[in-house]
Structure 1
Amino acid sequence: MRSNIVFSLFFSLIWTGSMMAGLAAESSIVVDVETGIVLLSDNPDEKRQVASLTKVATILVTLKWLDENKGTDEVEIVVSAEAVSGGVNPLKFEEGDCLSLRSAMLAAMMASDNTSAYAIAEFVGSRLRKEASESGAVSRFVAKMNHEAAALRLSDTRFVNPHGLDEGSDLGESTAADMAMLAIEAIKHPQFLALCRESEATIKVTRRGRGRNMTIKNTNQLVGSRGIDGVKTGTTRRSGPCLMATAVSEVSGSGRLVSVVLNAEDRFRETVLLLNRGWEVYRKSREEGAPETNRSLLIAPN
């Protein structure tokens, strides 16, 4: 039986302010995945818009739904008119396009495609149990996303759509700390990193009866370097540039960190700095052990 503890301990370590020099992100955090130790952070609990980092929750809910229902990600989904008109459509999907659920997940994670995320929500949401307060498939899916957030004790997180776009005055929000916790939960799923670790992938889309291959590129420019193998970029006018990343140690081959930067103008450079300094603190914490003061427990059921 898997442990009910997402993190046994979520420590805050006190390090010199110089470790955060050169980082202009509004909020940032780097966490040791194995222990839950917060290695470095700045404004980690400040509520902000997180843009397409939202899609990590969309994919996690989908993967868990597949597990619970013994489903296959090769099932075909159809892009609706609502999905196409729901926001920025970088891959230029059209109404009636057909693709596998896995291809849609790859498009949402790697290319940050909003149409794919919406189509996933329609497909899965239409198969979720309907509650009285949830009028449509996407509403049911978003409710499931928020249920997942509550189960993980992401108390400062609220999702309003499956893609993270700013829609009117009703805005979703989260924090760097909550997004780090979400990333760690997602990484635990054996299929998750396969959806975001490559620099590019090929998906098949059927349009008006004719299949064609589409090459998609990862918006996360850091994958494949410095041990980084995920996870997600995000940008809207309100959120600013955001990046959630994870990396394994290139020195020892063991150990994994998760980092999050929110509203970071140079998110890739700042993530590299944050992870480099995170590994420095990681090695120090492993050598000296975590302090017994200034710590908190975050326990969430699985």
Structure 2
Amino acid sequence: MKRALIGCIAAWVSMGSPVVEAQGEAVMVVEAHSGKVLIGTNSTVKRPVASLTKIATGVLVVDWAEAAGVNLEERELVVPASVAGLPGANPMRLVPGERLSLRDAMASTLLGSDNAAALSLADHVGREFLARKGRSGDPVAAFVGEMNVLAKALGMKKTKFYNPHGLELPKQVGLSTAADIAKLSIYAMRRPGFNFITRQKERQVTVKGAEGPRGYRVKNTNELVSESVIGLKTGTTRAAGECVAIGVERAPLIRPKADGSKGVTPRRLIIVLLNSPDRFGRAKALIPKGWGIYDAWVRGGAQVQDRRREILDVPNPR
């Protein structure tokens, strides 16, 4: 990841072509620390993933900030001119020239699924990528390029991002799979700066405009967020259907070891649903089902017969 950040940290549809809608629900349930795949249905089928794209946007901002020593709370961005023509959600009514902290932009992006905030983040960080390389060009394109560098580093072989927000625009229909989004989610939830935001039910943010600062309360679109459900992201478009990725924390498993010490096994469930008929109801039902399969696997000695099929490997590109 460090190399990518320093380095410059056949469109699927042609102009005017119709967007193909996803067929059937895709499901991936995996225990994040072991990588054990627990449930998978249509999990490797490529399809639009809507605003789950913003998981990659958010975690890339976090990685860049850590590598560059940037405080997300203190650094401000300027809303770019490109937000003026952007369709979809702009809940803070951002207009070009306004300012807000990167932390507040992240909150609106990840909690409120704010397309304008996501584009503003990509513009700001993309300019940093270009400056580090000593180049000029489109900062958003530079940022999206790094999103795809991250995807490749994580082994997301069937994923291609075209923008930082997930809107289905001409020549900008990003595709991924439930398995690939699970990989991205596992990596994102390893980053404290990311899951600190996604586990919040709401957050008060401030926008500095021409008429002075204004406050806005961003509410999490993930209805399941609770003490144990700590993220990650929702998404919905006509082509993608209802999508959600959640992370579920569970107390670590503590077991005595032969030398008398205690072994601690952390446990976190990642559930990804694409084109779901009832994303929140289905995800909620999959939590106990997933843990039941995992517990039975652990009781049986956590044996793995075919690692390629049974384990979702997520490398650490940093």
> Normalization by structure 2: what TM-score?
0.82
CA distance in 2, matches of 1:235, 1:289: 39
Distance 2:94 2:112 in 1: 12
Whichever residue aligns with residue 80 of structure 1, its letter is P
Aligned to 2:149: 147
Contact 1:25-1:261 within 8 A present in 2 as well? no
3-state SS of 2:69 partner: coil
Task: State the shift of 1:194 in Å.
Answer: 1.1
Q: Distance in 2 between matches of 1:237 and 1:151?
A: 30
Residues 1:75 and 2:75 are matched in the alignment: yes
CA–CA distance in structure 1, aligned partners of residues 198 and 300 of structure 2? 34
CA change 1:133–1:259 in 2 (3 A) is: farther
Within the alignment, does 1:236 sit opposite 2:237 as a pair? Answer: yes
Judge conservation of contact 2:186–2:314 (CA < 8 Å) in 1: no
C-alpha contact 1:203 1:215 (8 A) present in aligned 2: yes
For residues 172 and 204 of structure 2, what CA distance do their matches in structure 1 show? 35
> 1:270 is matched with which residue: 251, 257, 282?
282
Residues 71, 283 of structure 1: alpha-carbon distance in 2 compared, 3 angstrom cutoff: same
- Deviation string, structure 1 residues 76-128 (Cα, Å, up to 9, x no partner): 11112212322212332222221000000000000000000000000000111
User: Does the residue aligned with 1:249 lie in a helix, a strand or coil?
Assistant: strand
Residue 61 (str. 1) matches residue 73 (str. 2): no
Q: Name the SS of the counterpart of 2:186 in structure 1.
A: helix
* Bigger shift: residues 105-114 or 68-77: 68-77
Post-superposition Cα deviations, 1:179-237, rounded to whole Å, max 9, x if no partner, equal 00101111111211111111111001111151122101000000016x10101000111
User: Which residue of the partner structure matches residue 10 of structure 1?
Assistant: none
8 Å CA contact 2:198–2:232 kept in 1: the answer is yes
Distance 2:149 2:225 in 1: 30
State the 1:251 CA deviation: 9.8
Q: 1:193 and 1:252, CA in 2 relative to 1: closer, same or farther beyond 3 A? A: same
What amino acid is the match of 2:201?
S
Asked if 2 retains the 8 angstrom alpha-carbon contact of 1:134 and 1:140, the reply is no
- CA separation in 2, counterparts of 1:185 and 1:292? 22
Compute the displacement of 1:133 (Å): 11
Question: When the two structures are aligned, how many residues end up with a matched partner?
Answer: 278
Q: Which residue of 2 aligns with 1:4?
A: none
* 1:163 match: 165
| Contact 1:46/1:175, CA 8 A, preserved across alignment | yes
How high is the TM-score relative to the length of structure 1? 0.86
Q: Select between 113-122 and 181-190 the one with higher mean Cα deviation.
A: 181-190
Aligned mates of 2:136, 2:122 — CA distance in 1:
13
2: CA distance between counterparts of 1:69 and 1:292? Answer: 40
Moved more, 242-251 or 195-204: 242-251
Match of 1:279 among 287, 291, 308: 291
The residue number in structure 2 matching 1:300 is 315
Check the 8 A contact 1:249/1:255 in 2, yes or no.
yes
Of all paired residues, the percent bearing the same amino acid is: 36
Of 207, 210, 216, 1:208 maps to 210
Amino acid at match of 1:300: P
The 1:50–1:98 alpha-carbon spacing in structure 2 relative to 1, beyond 3 Å, is same
Residue aligning to 1:222: 224
Give unpaired runs (5+ residues) of structure 1.
1-23
Matches within 5 A, 1:82-121: 82-88=82-88, 89-121=90-122
Whether 1:38 and 2:37 are equivalent positions in the alignment is yes
